[in-house]
Amino acid sequence: MKIGYARVSTGLQNLDLQKDSLEHYGCEKIFTDYMSGAKSHRPGLGQAIEFTRSGDMIVVWRLDRLGRNMEDLIQVVNHLKNRGVSFHSLQENITMDKGSSTGQLMFHLFAAFAEFERNLILERSSAGRIAARARGRIGGRPEKFNKQDLVLLKTLVDNQTPIATIAERWQVSRTTIYRYLKKMEDKNEQT
């Protein structure tokens, strides 16, 4: 039996492409996770592995869906191998089963490339943040309120305008209003 495993890093991303590919390949059951591959505990992967029986095959869309680094990938695949379960990655077209020396070699090579690619992405992201900080950009979202907004906010609060009404005016949550009021209060205490 072919068992699929699909993963995206956040709930904002979509599993459709992976699921479609796995179904097209013939996976009868598909397990999913919405979390980073860097997390060691992935419930969907655990369920997929527990569901397998000797002679089954775990199928993923790409190697990086199974794990973020080579050590993690090798550990999962070796665990599958010990259970008599084979493994297939669709994008890299790698199949590993009990007697596949070539598949094992290709798996290790692609796992090394996947880890290398991930490290390059992390290095570029870090360099980009450092360059942005050097230009005075701190990162994160821009402030919701400018100086005039803060003056108006303070005036409305002083005039007993309900926080819900103020939040509705700027289309923000009441928590956001309270956070800005606290920032203004803290700033006043420092001066």
| Burial class (CB within 10 angstroms; exposed 0-12, middle 13-18, buried 19+) of 65 | buried
Environment class of residue 2 by beta-carbon count within 10 Å: exposed (0-12), middle (13-18) or buried (19+)?
A: middle
Q: Which backbone phi and psi does 47 adopt, to 5 degrees?
A: -65, -40
Is 21 an active-site residue? no
Is the CB of residue 52 less than 8 Å from the CB of residue 4? no
Q: Which of 9, 40, 86, 126 is catalytic?
A: 9
112: nearest Cα among 80, 64, 78, 79: 64
Active site residues: 9
